[in-house]
């Protein structure tokens, strides 16, 4: 099929590359000339495992091209995906200005029947607003479809190729037939395509992210209690996760959720409900719990290092999750801000996200290895569970630090093993423990 993708951000690039890999003719459009030039040269502006190779291969084989020309991206196409940004306003509302602008551009250049698909995460009712823009701008025939994405950063290609489900919000049988053909290679591997009304599809994305965010906030709400009574939150997670009505996914205590989806989508759902005079207290609480929890980790550091002024503190992990360079709403950003306010000297290391973090904190120091970030440190805080942190040389880490303190906000280490290695250890939702070997005076 002849497909166009408006927007070459995270969703647009993954969508375009993956559809091209299924044998389709794909054009990706963006107004950013530098980004398009880089993509034509095979350079991908985001880190997502496997994406660069996928783009380079399909571009080389002629199935994937990049352009800044709207006409080239629209004329002769059968399907156009709108994958532009929907930034959050101060009220929490998702701003769909770019979505509607894309719809107007598409309408001005379409030369025949076209299926216009909103792939961006958009508030309920956006498909109708897109249709209204198209009707006001063109006399050509069209269908508007909501087809929300469910791509996890770090596993987006796998999620596209093997989705739990494909959701299609379409009014007409004609639109359903086009989307059925588009996704037929995925449907052949027994992945269900769920057809529903566009508003139901739009709400499904918000509901899914709010549910996952609620599970994270639920477990993080228990961490303080677990620490107070001296139990391990991992035991609680296992105990309730084995209940088949609950299941184990997204029940791990953590530094809090971040990224481009959960925070923004929960707030947008709150805004949508309140705009309809509905009680959104439950969903507002999910966000409030998360924001408070992100600010709680400084106290775990101060458990062992009460006076942070002038102290070096290592920060392992900057991205909000591993296998991405995305730092949006990352708990690490909150922690670094707090460390700086307390007069500490943070040194950070992340395999992929350091360059993005430099734009936020240009003055702090960044290590080239995990060991660089613990040199002369009074504590090291694990904020992202990159595999590289699981098997470090702890004898070397301890020798480099002025105080052997590990604050494990991802609970990736065994507390007793850390104590055996001579570290004072604090996790999230776990009792803090002190090493039984001689250590330098804390403080």
Catalytic positions: 261
Dihedral of alpha carbons 249, 254, 260, 263, sign: positive
* DSSP string of 43-81, one letter each residue: --SS--TTHHHHHHHHHHTTSEEEES-HHHHHTT-SEEE
Phi/psi at 30 (5° precision): -155, 150
In 10 A of CB 247, how many CB atoms? 12
CA distances from 138 to 5, 69, 102, 113, 291 (A): 20, 19, 14, 11, 45
Q: Tokens 């280490």 belong to which residue?
A: 413
3-state SS track over 104-154: HHHHHHCCCCEEEEECCCCCCCHHHHHHHHHHHHCCCCEEEEECCCCCCCC
The rounded distance, in Å, linking the Cα atoms of 118 and 169 is 10
Q: Which of 108, 114, 111, 104 is nearest to 79 (CA)?
A: 114
């Amino acid at each position: 099929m002849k497909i166009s993708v408006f927007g070459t951000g995270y969703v647009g690039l993954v969508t375009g590359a993956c559809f091209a890999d299924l044998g389709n003719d794909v054009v990706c459009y963006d107004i950013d000339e530098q980004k398009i030039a880089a993509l034509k040269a095979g350079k991908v502006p985001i880190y997502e495992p496997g994406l660069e190779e996928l783009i380079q291969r399909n571009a080389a084989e002629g199935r994937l091209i990049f352009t800044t020309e709207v006409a080239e991206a629209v004329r002769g196409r059968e399907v156009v995906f709108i994958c532009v940004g929907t930034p959050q306003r101060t009220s929490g509302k998702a701003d769909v200005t770019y979505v509607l602008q894309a719809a107007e551009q598409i309408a001005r250049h379409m030369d025949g029947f076209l299926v216009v698909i909103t792939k961006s995460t958009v508030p309920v009712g956006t498909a109708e607003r897109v249709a209204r823009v198209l009707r006001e701008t063109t006399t050509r025939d069209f269908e508007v479809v909501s087809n929300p994405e469910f791509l996890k950063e770090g596993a987006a290609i796998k999620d596209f190729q093997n989705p739990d489900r494909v959701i299609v919000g379409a009014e007409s049988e004609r639109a359903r037939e086009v989307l059925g053909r588009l996704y037929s290679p995925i449907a052949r591997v027994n992945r269900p395509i769920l057809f529903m009304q566009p508003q139901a599809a739009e709400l499904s994305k918000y509901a899914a992210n709010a549910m996952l965010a609620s599970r994270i906030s639920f477990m993080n709400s228990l961490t303080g209690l677990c620490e107070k009574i001296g139990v391990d939150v991992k035991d609680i997670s296992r105990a309730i996760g084995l209940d088949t009505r609950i299941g184990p996914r997204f029940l791990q205590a953590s530094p809090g959720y971040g990224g481009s989806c959960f925070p923004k989508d929960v707030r947008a759902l709150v805004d949508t409900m309140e705009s309809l005079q509905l009680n959104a207290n439950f969903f507002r609480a999910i966000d409030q719990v998360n924001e408070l929890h992100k600010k709680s980790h400084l106290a775990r550091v101060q458990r062992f290092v009460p006076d942070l002024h002038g102290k070096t503190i290592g920060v392992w992990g900057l991205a909000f999750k591993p296998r991405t360079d995305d730092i949006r709403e990352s708990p690490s950003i909150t922690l670094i801000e707090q460390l700086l306010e307390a007069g500490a000297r943070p040194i950070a290391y992340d395999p992929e996200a350091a360059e993005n973090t430099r734009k936020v904190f240009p003055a702090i120091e960044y290590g080239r290895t995990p060991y660089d970030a613990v040199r002369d440190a009074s504590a090291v805080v694990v904020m992202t569970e990159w595999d590289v942190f699981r098997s470090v040389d702890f004898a070397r880490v301890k020798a480099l630090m002025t105080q052997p303190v590990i604050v494990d906000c991802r609970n990736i280490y065994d507390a007793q093993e850390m104590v055996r290695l001579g570290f004072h250890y604090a996790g999230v939702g776990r009792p803090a423990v002190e090493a039984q070997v001689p250590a330098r005076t804390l403080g």
